[in-house]
Amino acid sequence: MAQLLQHLINGLAAGTIYALVALGYTMVYGVLKLINFAHGDVMMVGVYMGYGTAYALGRQAQKSVLGVVLIFLVAMAGCALLGFLIERFAYRPLREKPRLTALITAIGISFALSYGFQLDIGFLPGAAPRAFPEIIQPSEWLIIGDRDVVVWNWQIMSLLIAVGLMVGLQYLVFKTRFGRAMRAVSYDHRVAALMGIPTDRIIAVTFMIGSGLAAGAGLLYAIKDTSVNPLMGLFVGLKAFVAAVIGGIGHVPGAVVGALMLGLVEEFVVGYVASTWRDAVAFGILIIVLLVRPGGLFGRVAAEKV
């Protein structure tokens, strides 16, 4: 029983990190119907921004509360700017083009970021893995029994951040003027523009919010696993995309539920079967869900006029 509870806690903690990245996928898709495959690599850029900021602050300052907040703010603001630039110069010119064109462009940006960051010139980090500084000292937040179950502080922090952001995004989308404009753009951006909604601004801000969330998720992932490299965004981003599709891409609570499910499945497969089966089982569940519910657990399949 204790082992089951420990796997449950670890799976939920991993799922919350996937959830923060999946929220960015689902926001962009909800507005543009575009799968931004560069989203995971934006997360990787945020990790390296946090890495550089931490070392610039020094060993003592980076572990202070102010230092940790500053690291998160710099990484999230930097990735928000990166998301704005990607949308403005890569996706906006293709908005009226076939969707396949934008999809290929997204894949190209993904490879440009992941492999470009492997260059060891100027500010680029190079291909070698690096140890992320221990900006948050891991500590045992709760111990049950004779260390049968251990809950770490970063696990509680990840869960609280994910839940808080989900609630905040739900409020933003359904209770604010910006959210109404976002939903109007999602329904039909051409009609929304005719109604006086600044569609370009709405879409750009959506990209910025999603990219900032990815940076925060990346830092939480780096704090947990400590080793970072330029290809980390490919793997984490792909898992988060799977989670968003399982939950119903374009549905904010669905993205979080799908991510938590994926984290739990991976943890239970590693704990009770074999780590080598982790990815196969995750993608197998994706196939099963899409066969039963093509729109995901919370999504709806709308008929298209032809």
Is 212 strand, coil or helix? Answer: helix
Least confident of 86-100, 132-146, 212-226: 132-146
pLDDT digits (tens, 9 = 90+) for 272-288: 888 888 888 888 888 88
Q: How far apart are CA 157 and CA 159, in angstroms?
A: 5
Q: What is the dihedral of CA 65, 152, 40, 284, to 10 degrees?
A: -170
Mean of all residue pLDDT scores within the chain: 86
Whether the per-residue pLDDT at 289 is higher than 80: the answer is yes
pLDDT digits (tens, 9 = 90+) for 71-92: 999 999 999 999 999 999 999 9
Instruction: Pick left, alpha or beta for residue 85 (phi over 0 → left; psi -120 to 50 → alpha; otherwise beta).
Output: alpha
Contacts of 57 (CB under 8 A, 6+ apart): 67, 70, 71
Q: Which two tokens stand for residue 135?
A: 């900006």
Reported as a pLDDT band with limits 50, 70 and 90, residue 306 is very low
Q: Which domains does the chain have, with CATH numbers?
A: 2-292 (1.10.3470)
Contacts of 305 (CB under 8 A, 6+ apart): none
Least confident of 79-88, 203-212, 226-235: 226-235
